[in-house]
Chain A
Amino acid sequence: MTAVVEQADRQHTTRAARSTSIDVAIGLAALACIAHFVEAPRHFEWWPASGVAFVVIGVLQGALALALLRPSPSPSPRLVKVGLWGTVAVVVLYLTSRTVGLPFSPGVPVHGAKLLPGMPIMPDGDKLVGPVDLVTLVAEVALIVLLLGLLPRRARRRASNGLMWCGLSIWALAILGALT
Chain B
Amino acid sequence: MKLSRRDLLKAGVFAGAATALPLQRMVSGIDGFSRRMPTSKLPAPFTVPFARPKGATPVATTATTDYYRIDMRPAQLEILPGYKTVTYAYNGQVPGPTIRVAQGREAVVRHTNMLPKVHDRLGYEPWTSVHLHGSASLPQYDGYASDITRPGESKDYRYPDFQSSRTLWYHDHGVHHTAQNAYQGLLAMYIMTDPIEQALNLPSGEFDVPLMIGDAMFERDGQLLFTLDDESGMWGDVFVVNGRPWPNMQVKRRKYRFRVLDNCISRSLDWRLSNNAPFHVIATDGGLTDAPIEVTHIRHGNAERYEVIIDFANYSVGTKLQLMNDSPPNNRDDVNMDRIMQFEVVGDSFPTADNNMPAVLNPNNPVMALQESDAVATRNFRFRRQNGQWTINGTTWADVVASNYEFTLANPVKDSVEIWTVENPSGGWFHPVHIHLVDFKILDRNGLPPHPWERGPKDVVYLGEVETVRLLMRFEGRGKYMMHCHNLVHEDHDMMGQFEVIDPAQAGDSPFAVPARPIAQMGPLVP
Chain A residues with a Cβ under 8 A of chain B: 12-14, 17, 20-21, 42, 45-47, 88, 91-92, 94-95, 98-99, 105-109, 111-112, 114-116, 118-120, 122-123, 125-130, 133-134, 137-138, 141, 144-146, 148-150, 153, 156-157, 160-161, 163-164, 166-168, 170-171, 174, 179
Contacts and interface: CB of A to CB of B under 8 A. Distances in A.
Interface string B339-373: 00000000000000000000000000000000000
B122 A21 contact: no
A116 B125 contact: no
Contact of B11 (A17, A98, A106, A145): A145
Nearest to B29: A129
A108 B127 CA distance: 22
Contact of B493 (A111, A163, A168): A111
Q: How large is the interface on B (under 10, 10 to 19, 20 to 34, 35 or more residues)?
A: 35 or more
A46 B428 CA distance: 10
B25 A98 contact: yes
Given A109-B389, A161-B10, A123 B228 contact: yes
Nearest to B390: A109
B124 interface: yes
B230 A126 contact: yes
Interface stretch (B201-209, B300-308, B396-404, B446-454): B396-404
B231 to A, nearest CB: 4
A167 B492 CA distance: 38
B176 A112 contact: yes
A99 B6 CA distance: 29
A98 B21 contact: yes
B7 A148 contact: yes
Contact of A126 (B10, B176, B228, B402): B228
A92 B385 CA distance: 26
A144 B387 contact: no
A170 B18 contact: yes
A20 B402 CA distance: 61
Interface in B474-527: 492-494
Residue of B2, B228, B386, B426 with highest tally of chain A CB at under 10 A: B2
B331 to A, nearest CB: 15
Contacts of B175: 112, 115
A177 to B, nearest CB: 12
24 contacts: A13-B2, A46-B388, A95-B21, A109-B396, A109-B493, A111-B176, A115-B176, A115-B401, A122-B176, A126-B228, A126-B231, A128-B229, A129-B23, A130-B26, A134-B19, A134-B22, A134-B23, A134-B26, A137-B18, A137-B22, A146-B1, A164-B9, A167-B13, A167-B14
A138 B146 CA distance: 45
B9 to A, nearest CB: 8
Nearest to B26: A129
B384 interface: yes
A105 B388 contact: yes
Contacts of B125: 118-120
Given A45-B385, A112-B175, A115-B175, A166 B14 contact: yes
Nearest to B31: A126
Contacts of B29: 128-129
Contact of B15 (A98, A144, A156): A144
A170 B492 CA distance: 34
Interface string B177-190: 00000000000000
B30 interface: yes
B146 A46 contact: no
B63 interface: no
Contacts of A156: 2-3, 7
Contact of A160 (B7, B25, B230, B231): B7
Contacts of A164: 9-11, 13-14
Nearest to A141: B15
Contacts of B386: 45
B227 interface: yes
A160 B6 contact: yes
Interface in B20-39: 20-23, 25-26, 29-31
Contacts of A137: 18-19, 22
Contacts of B13: 163-164, 167-168, 171
Given A106-B388, A126-B31, A129-B26, A149 B3 contact: yes
A99 B21 contact: yes
Nearest to B384: A45
Contacts of B428: 42, 45
B148 interface: yes
B1 to A, nearest CB: 3
Interface string B270-301: 00000000000000000000000000000000
Given A167-B12, A167-B14, 12 more contacts: A20-B1, A45-B385, A45-B386, A108-B231, A109-B398, A122-B493, A125-B230, A125-B231, A126-B228, A126-B231, A148-B3, A160-B7
Contacts of B388: 46-47, 105-109
Contact of B30 (A126, A141, A144): A126
